[in-house]
Structure 1
Amino acid sequence: MKRLFEIDLKDYKESDSVFRRPSARAIIRKGDKIALVYSKKEKYYKFPGGGIHDDEDKRQALIREVREEVGMVVIPESIREFGSALRRQKSGMAEDTIFEQENFYYFCDVEDELVEQELDDYESDAEFVLRVVDLDTAIEANDIYSSDVFFNEVMIKRDLRVLRMLKEMKS
């Protein structure tokens, strides 16, 4: 898969250990809009998706994460590569650790019917809901987003870059 961009904050020591958490993220177009996760608490949009378990391939993780986060059922044959974004920064969880996340973005289609979300505690706390919005709405919200948790800001700025890339493709 082609690399779209890298975000490397270089806010760590090269001697730090590396914690890798690859993820799969869905780009789901609905007409001229896009299906995204919206945090009602934090007021940001993100692409549905998340961490790839050791026993999963990227596509399996994508299907599982989309179902869990937004209750949409991905049509496996529709999955197409878009590109990846690499994120490296000092871990917010462990001392002397670099958080490295390769985010694999895929276009995909979903079935019409929704299933129930299965949110993790932090996702419930953030009040994740499905929103189908135009790109400008998501871009505007993420552009002004700020958080006390810098780690979250980097995640949202990453998805903001991908949203802007998608907008460029449309024009």
Structure 2
Amino acid sequence: MRLLFEMDKHDYDECTHSFSRPSARSIIIRDGKVAMIHSMKYDYYKFPGGGIEQGEDPAEAMIRETREETGLVVIPETVKEYGLVHRIQKSDSDPTEVFIQDNYYYLCDAEETVVSQHLDGYESKEDYQLEFVDPYAAIEKNSRDIHGPYNPMMFQREAKVLNMLIAEGHLGSRQDDQ
């Protein structure tokens, strides 16, 4: 899978150990809008997806996580690799730990019918809602305000991926909307 970009804070020289948590995320586009999770509690957008379980294929994790978080059922034969974002920084919770995350993004389609979500505890508390959102609106919302306890790198990552999708013609430009 191609490397889209790296996010490296270079702030971990004093760390003594590392923690790696790879994730997989879906990019589902309909009518120039992209499927995203809207956290109603903290008012931010993120691509559907989450952690890859031990021994799980990243594409399978993306399909599972997308269904759990959004209720969208990904059509497996439409899944195409988009790219990887490599993130590395000192952990927010342990100053002796390096946090490493490879985020695998996949372009795909989903069935029209949306099934019920299966949210875990924190996702329910944040009141995750599926929205097909204008990419510029998502970028703008994530760049304003503080969105709860989350590291700003998550919002920067999502904005950068959205901007790449726009630049590569997967999503329309502002001029297309006028």
TM-score by length of structure 1 reads 0.93
What does residue 154 of structure 1 align with?
153
Aligned equivalents of 1:125 and 1:88: distance in 2? Answer: 27
Q: Does structure 1 retain, via aligned residues, the 8 Å contact 2:24–2:104?
A: yes
Higher deviation after alignment, 112-121 or 71-80: 112-121
CA distance 1:47–1:66, change in 2 (3 Å) = same
Equivalences for residues 10-159 of structure 1 within 5 A? 10-13=10-13, 15-147=15-147, 149=149, 151=151, 153-159=152-158
CA contact (8 A) 2:28 2:35 kept: yes
Q: Give the superposition deviation at 1:78.
A: 0.4
Displacement of 1:150 after TM fit?
5.1
- Aligned to 2:28, the other structure's residue is in SS state strand
What is residue 8 of structure 2 aligned with on the other side?
8
Check if 1:168 corresponds to 2:144: no
Conservation of the 8 A alpha-carbon contact between 1:39 and 1:129 = yes
* Local SS of the residue matching 1:117: coil
Distance 2:147 2:43 in 1: 10
1:85/1:103 contact within 8 Å kept:
yes
- What is the rounded CA distance, in whole Å, between the counterparts of 2:114 and 2:150 in structure 1? 33
Amino acid corresponding to residue 74 of structure 1 in structure 2: V
TM-score (norm: length of structure 2):
0.90
Q: What's the CA shift for 1:15? A: 4.6
How far apart are residue 94 of structure 1 and its match? Answer: 3.1
**Identity percentage over the alignment?**
46
Q: Is the 8 A contact 2:50 2:62 kept in 1?
A: yes
1:22–1:101 Cα contact (<8 Å) kept = yes
Residue 169 of structure 1 aligns with an amino acid whose one-letter code is E
> Residue 156 of structure 1: CA displacement?
1.2
What SS does structure 1 have at the residue aligned with 2:136? helix
Tell me which residue corresponds to 2:176: none
Alignment RMSD (CA, Å) = 1.4
C-alpha distance in 2, partners of 1:39/1:83?
A: 24
Give secondary structure in 2 for the equivalent of 1:19.
Answer: strand
